[in-house]
A and B are shown apart, each in its own frame.
Chain A
Amino acid sequence: MSRTSADHLQQTLWDMQRRFGQGVVTTGDRLASGNRIPTGFTAVDAQLEGGGIALGQMSAVVGQPTSGATTLVYHLIASAQQGDRIAVYVDISGTFDAEYAVSCGVMLDRLLIINTSNPGRGLNMALDAVRSEKAALVALDWTTRRMDNKYLDRLRANVARTRTALVMLMHNLQSPDLMHTALILRRQDWLTQGDEVSGYHVRVKVLRDGGTERDKSADIDITPKAFAS
Chain B
Amino acid sequence: MTLGEEFPRILEAGRSGELWALERLYRELAPAVLGYLRGQGAIEPDDLTSEVFVGLVRGLHRFAGDERGFRSWIFAIAHRRLLDERRRLSRRREQPMDPAKISQNLAGSATGDTEEEAMIRLEGPGVLQMLARLSSDQRSVLLLRVVADLPVEEVARILGKSGGAVKSLQRRALLSLARQNHTEGVS
Q: Does B bind A?
A: no
- Give the interface of A toward B (CB within 8 A): none
